[in-house]
Amino acid sequence: MAKHHRALGVARTLRPVQPVTLVRPHAAARAARFFVEKFPGRTLYAVKANPSPDLLQILWDNGVTHYDVASIGEVRLVARTLPEATLCFMHPVKAEEAIAEAYFTHGVRTFSLDTIEELEKIVRATKGADDLTLCVRIRVSSELSKLSLASKFGAGPGETKALLFAARQAADTLGICFHVGSQAMSPDAYGQAMERVRMAIVEAAVTVDVIDVGGGFPSAYPGMEPPPLERYFETIHRAFESLPISYSAELWAEPGRALCAEYSSLIVRVEKRRGDELYINDGAYGALFDAAHVAWRFPVTLLREHDSRAKDVGFSFYGPTCDDLDHMAGPFDLPADVDTGDYIEVGMLGAYGSAMRTAFNGFGTDETIEVTDEPMATLYAGLEDEADSGNVVRLGARRG
């Protein structure tokens, strides 16, 4: 992999025709150390957010030893990349064949479920194994998060008692897990969910050994600047300590976005300007899927040798394909004089950006360059590292 000092240098010296992914290993390493050192429990990386083998290795090297996998493809990937890692199969609906391969071939012992049917499937596929950690997923609210995950999975209030009781009989270790939704903007999301956990435990009257608070830990984006992550950890820890659970119970979390959002960004070139619309060479079928389909606003900066003196205005983007759907409404704030041939860095794309890419319409690129400057936003400012802060935007810089 080629290396460069900073994003501006890549644009200036290489003048790339195709989009270029920039990766910042130091940012992912810093995020991993933060969670390992500060989260009051065990950190499982949610692989779906970014399955890059290079990223998986960085997280492992910085103390993340457990991985939340959601498919047999992810199981195989992590097992191949990190043979010593502990894998937890946390998708609540799995093919029986996938469960069997995960258990017998890859040594997976932790499985999530949200129905009796799935419990029976796990028991059959593992041939009645007596060393299972079974995590019952309960449904909780996503009202305090930017993207809901409240409708597809999770046992409802009338279903949890029987399910927990049945899972307790089949499990060596019984857990309860949930997901508050993606980009939780308040620690209260976890406090409210933990109250739901309390009610489920009391109703079922079972001994619970694991509480898994799932994902949802946020990153910083324009208009979505959350409180410090320590506040989330404090809320979770207080709630965990008050639950009626086993004295030796473990606390788990499954961060995805928070561990990898700062890992990568994207350099795109403006191919055409039409008023306040910029036609760029990546889009909805590439790394900017979320910008198009869920109106996510990513930070952007114009990569020019000399700073523009024009005031910032809001632009929308069109991607390179022939589809009208290849549109990112934004607004993305850039200097008013941006024009054809200019380069733009789109930041905070480490989470889901690379993972959602396609080669639709023949567009796409695999070019990746490692840089050592800082990501365009961070929730980990102030942590000791060797990166050069440069002159990039630091949305989270005021949070220690």
Pinpoint the alpha helices (H) of 178-249. Answer: 188-204, 229-241
Is the entire prediction scored with pTM above 0.75?
Answer: yes
C-beta atoms surrounding 98 within 10 Å: 17
CA 390 to CA 397: how far, in whole Å? 13
Angle in degrees, 0-180, between the axes of helices 116-125 and 160-170, rounded to the nearest 10: 10
CA 74 to CA 52: how far, in whole Å? 11
Q: Where in the chain is the domain with CATH 3.20.20.10?
A: 26-260
pLDDT per residue as tens digits for the range 201-255? 999 999 999 999 999 999 999 999 999 999 999 999 999 999 999 889 999 999 9
pLDDT per residue as tens digits for the range 121-143? 999 999 999 999 999 999 999 99
Pairing of strands 327-335, 300-303: unpaired
CA 161 to CA 168: how far, in whole Å? 11
322 annotated active-site? yes
Q: Where in the chain is the domain with CATH 2.40.37.10?
A: 2-23+261-371
Query: Above 90 in pLDDT, residue 317?
Result: yes
Task: Tell me which of 88, 135, 260, 322 is the catalytic residue.
Answer: 322
Closest to 244 measured CA to CA, from 198, 177, 178: 198
Q: Which fold has domain 26-260?
A: TIM Barrel (3.20.20)
Pairing of strands 312-318, 327-335: antiparallel
Section 298-304 average pLDDT: 96
CATH superfamily of the domain spanning 2-23+261-371: Lyase, Ornithine Decarboxylase; Chain A, domain 1 (2.40.37.10)
With residue 312 as reference, give the H or E element that holds it: strand 312-318
